[in-house]
Amino acid sequence: MDINNLKIDESAKANVNAWLTGGYDEETKQAIREMASNPNELNESFYRSLEFGTGGLRGIMGVGTNRMNKYTVAMSTQGLANYVKKFFPAGTELKAAVSHDSRNHSREFAEITAKVLAANGIHVYLFESLRPTPELSFAVRHFGCQTGVMVTASHNPKEYNGYKAYWSDGCQLTPPHDVNVIDEVMKIKDIKDVCMVGGEQNIEIIGEDVDRIYMDRIARNSLHPELIKKHHDIKIVYTPLHGTGIVLIPKMLQQLGFTNVNVVKEQAVVDGNFPTTPSPNPEEHAAMKMAVDLAKEIDADIVFASDPDADRVGVAVKRPDGEWMLLNGNQTFSVLMYYLIKQWREAGRLTGNEYVIKTIVTSELPADIARKNGVKVYDVLTGFKWIGAKILELTGMEPSVEGSGRPVYIGGGEESYGYMVGDFVRDKDAVSACSMIAEIAAWAKEQGKTFFDILVDIYKEYGFYKEGLVSVVAVALKDAEEIAQMMKDYRSNPPQEIDGERVVRIDDIQLSTSTDILTGKVTPIDLPKSNVLQFYTEAGNKITVRPSGTEPKIKFYFGVKGELCCRENFDKTNAALDAKIESIKKSMNLV
C-alpha cells in the first residue's frame, strides 16, 4: 500500500504510516489497507487526532486517529492518568470509577479505560455492566475517587461513542483541570506511550451494592411519600430508549411505591443500534412516539423517557382535550422547581439560605419562581459541569445539610433536558428526575389535577414564559469565519432595538460586563469568560447569542413572556408567544 499515491492530506499520510508501522494490531492495519479504496474515508479518519475537549471525547466509531476506537480511548486515558498522578501529592491512594452506556463497543472501551488506569497504579471501581451517568458521578464521590470516566455519546446517533471525564467532586472537568488534562492527552503521540498491562489486581468490579446505596439516597428526596402510597397506581409510561435507564429507573419507581409502571417493551431492549427510533434523543418527537402511543392506549397519567446514558429526561403530558403534549426542557424544569420550592416553603424549610442554579440560556421562569419565594438564584454558563462547579463553590464536597450554616442546594437544571434534585450527585440525573416527576404526578392527582394543569397553574401565577432556538450552521471555513464576524459585529454595533422594542440591557460574558443602556451603568458579571452576548428588551424579552463549543454553528436563544388569565386561553396565548418569537427572528434576519 503506497500512501504517497493517495490524494489525502499530508497529516493523514503521516498518521496512516504511523499506524501501519507502529504497535497496532494486524486487524486494524488490514482495515486501514482496505480503506485505501476510499481515499475520502481514509482522509477523514486520519487527517487529525480526535479532539479531547473540555468534556472528554466524542466521535464516530472506527479505525483512525480521528475516530473513537480502542487506541484513541487508551491514549486519552493515559493522558488523564498522567495528569491525575501529577496533580495529587505523592503517596495519595489514587482511585477512579468507570462505567458505560448501551452503545456498541461501550463495554470494550470501558474495560480498556479501566486497564490503562489500573496499569498506572490507580485503583479502579469498574461497574459490572452498563449504568447511568449520574450513578458514575455518585460512585466517584462515594468511593472518594480522584477521577472517573463514563463511556457514552449521550443522545448522539448510533455511529458515535464518547468519553466523559470526571474530577473528584463527581463533576465533569472544570478549569483548570479540563485544559490541563487536554495538555496531557496531547502529549500522547503513540500507543507505545500507553501503559496497558500489569495492573489487573487494581480493578474492582462493583454493581448492585452501589445501586442500592444510590437508590436509597434518591428515595430520601421524596417530599410526599404518603401521596405516592395513596396514588401508587397512577399510570406511568417509561421508555429507556434502549439505554441504561432500564437498569435503575423502573426499580427506583418500584422502590418509591409506584405499582403501575408501563415500560415500552420494544425499547427496553439494550441495543446500541437503537432500532426503534431514528435518534435516541428524548427532545425529539420521533423518540417519544412509541411511549406516547402506549400512553394513549392505556390512558396514562404521565410519560417520560431517558436518553442512552440516563442523564436527560423527556416528558409528555395529557392535555384537557385528550391529546398528548411534549414538554420542552424549560417547562419540565419549571414544574420541578415550582414543586420543590412550594413543598419546602409549606414545610417551613425555607430560611433564606437556600438556592437553585440554572444556565444562562435557560428560561427565566424557574428563577422567577425561586426569587418570589425568597430562594437565591445563580446563573452559570451553558453545560451542567458549571452547575456542579457552583455547588462546590457554595456548599463544598459534601451534600447540603440544612441547619449547618452553609448554603443549601434545592435543585438545578438546564433547557437541554437536564435536571438535578439534591447535590449527592454532581451531574444531571434522569433517575432522580424521573422519580420526582412521578411524585409530582401523584401530587397533582391528589388535587384532582394533571401534570399539565400544574404547568398552567404556574403560568397563571408567574407569567407564561416561552422560549425558542435557532441554530445557524457553518458548512465551510468561510461560513465559520462569518460566524466569528457576526459576534464581532454584535459587540461593536449592538442592536438598539429588536422587533420594535428598545434594548435596555446588554450582558457580555466575554467582557464580564452588564450594561444598563438607559443609565450607562456597567456592572461586573461574575462568570468565567465565554463568547456569549445577551440582549434584554424593555418588554422583558431575552435574546442570547452563543457560538457552539462543540459544533460549527452559532445559536440564538429567545425568551418571551405573556400573561395567562385562564386555562382556556392556553392555546391562544401560546400561539401569540410563538408568533412573537417568529417576529423577533425576522427582525434579526434569522428566517
Listed in sequence order, the residues at least 6 apart from 113 whose beta carbon sits closer than 8 Å to its beta carbon are 73, 74, 77, 98, 149, 151, 163
pLDDT digits (tens, 9 = 90+) for 18-62: 999 999 999 999 999 999 889 899 999 999 999 888 788 999 999
**Rounded Cα gap, residues 85 and 76, in angstroms:** 14
Q: Is the pLDDT of residue 5 over 80?
A: no
**Rounded Cα gap, residues 564 and 461, in angstroms:** 8
Confidence label for 475 from pLDDT (cuts 50, 70 and 90):
low
For residue 57, give the nearest of 164, 166, 155 by alpha carbon: 164
Q: What is the pLDDT of residue 559?
A: 97
**Domain locations along the chain:** 49-206, 213-318, 330-448, 464-587
Q: Is the pLDDT of residue 534 over 80?
A: yes
State mean pLDDT over 72-92. 96
Q: What is the pLDDT of residue 552?
A: 75
**Rounded Cα gap, residues 249 and 208, in angstroms:** 14
Grid cell, residue 143, equals 468511593
Mode of pairing for the β-strands spanning 376-380 and 354-359: parallel
State mean pLDDT over 234-252. 98
According to CATH, the superfamily of the domain at 49-206 is: Alpha-D-Glucose-1,6-Bisphosphate, subunit A, domain 3 (3.40.120.10)
Q: What is the pLDDT of residue 162?
A: 95
Q: pTM above 0.75?
A: yes
> What type of residue sits at position 587?
S
State mean pLDDT over 440-448. 98
Q: What percent of the chain has pLDDT over 70?
A: 98
Domains 330-448 and 464-587 share a fold: no
**Rounded Cα gap, residues 491 and 472, in angstroms:** 18
**Rounded Cα gap, residues 506 and 522, in angstroms:** 10
**Rounded Cα gap, residues 227 and 215, in angstroms:** 19
pLDDT digits (tens, 9 = 90+) for 203-231: 999 999 999 999 999 999 999 999 999 99
Backbone angles phi, psi at 331, to 5 degrees: -70, -45
Which CATH architecture fits 213-318?
A: 3-Layer(aba) Sandwich (3.40)
pLDDT digits (tens, 9 = 90+) for 389-409: 999 999 998 888 898 889 999
pLDDT digits (tens, 9 = 90+) for 288-336: 999 999 999 999 999 999 999 999 999 999 999 999 999 999 999 999 9
Grid cell, residue 276, equals 426503534
Q: Is the pLDDT of residue 246 over 80?
A: yes
Q: Is the pLDDT of residue 365 over 80?
A: yes
CATH (one of 3.30.70.360, 3.40.50.300, 3.40.120.10, 3.40.50.1370) for 330-448 = 3.40.120.10
pLDDT digits (tens, 9 = 90+) for 55-72: 889 999 999 999 999 999
Q: Is the pLDDT of residue 3 over 90?
A: no
Q: What is the pLDDT of residue 374?
A: 97
Q: What is the pLDDT of residue 477?
A: 59
CB neighbours of residue 269 within 10 Å:
13
Q: What is the pLDDT of residue 250?
A: 98
User: To the nearest whole number, what is the mean pLDDT of the chain?
Assistant: 95
154 is catalytic: yes
State mean pLDDT over 562-582. 96
Which CATH architecture fits 464-587?
A: 2-Layer Sandwich (3.30)
pLDDT digits (tens, 9 = 90+) for 148-192: 999 999 999 999 999 999 999 999 999 999 999 999 999 998 999
Question: Which is the catalytic residue, given 154, 168, 400, 432?
Answer: 154
Confidence label for 1 from pLDDT (cuts 50, 70 and 90):
low
